[in-house]
């Protein structure tokens, strides 16, 4: 499965994965408004072996298959502290 990754220009460190390139209509309107402009950053093959820096590739694949999109939010402060401990 391929994913097309876009960076939100309004929400720092927030990324949108789409099942189809430029298929922004898959995103609910309130979400599109919050994210603002989206800038294409990457096309990636999400194979079962694929590891992602943040998040579970299996969850991303499931969201793409069922919704057509996946949102990657920035890590919380607590998550960052836990990783450093």
DSSP 30-83: HHHHHH-SEEEEEEEE--TT---SSS-HHHHHHHHHHTSEEEEPPPPHHHHHHH
The number of angstroms, rounded, from the C-alpha of 63 to the middle of its chain's C-alpha atoms is 10
- Map tokens 């590891």 to a residue: 51
In the chain, where the domains are located? 2-44+54-72
- pLDDT above 60 (res 68): yes
Q: What is the pLDDT of residues 14-63, one digit of tens each?
A: 999 999 999 999 999 999 999 999 999 999 999 888 888 888 899 999 99
pTM (two decimals) = 0.85
Question: Which of the listed CATH numbers 3.40.50.300, 3.40.50.970, 2.60.120.340, 3.10.510.20 matches domain 2-44+54-72?
Answer: 3.10.510.20
């Amino acid at each position: 499965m391929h994913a097309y990754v876009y960076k939100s220009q309004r929400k720092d460190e927030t990324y949108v994965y789409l099942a189809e390139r430029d298929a922004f209509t898959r995103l609910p309107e309130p979400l599109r408004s919050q994210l603002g402009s989206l800038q294409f950053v990457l096309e990636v093959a999400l194979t079962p072996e694929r590891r992602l820096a943040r998040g579970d590739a299996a969850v991303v694949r499931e969201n793409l298959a069922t919704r057509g999109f996946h949102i990657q939010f920035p890590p919380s402060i607590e998550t960052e502290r836990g990783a450093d401990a």
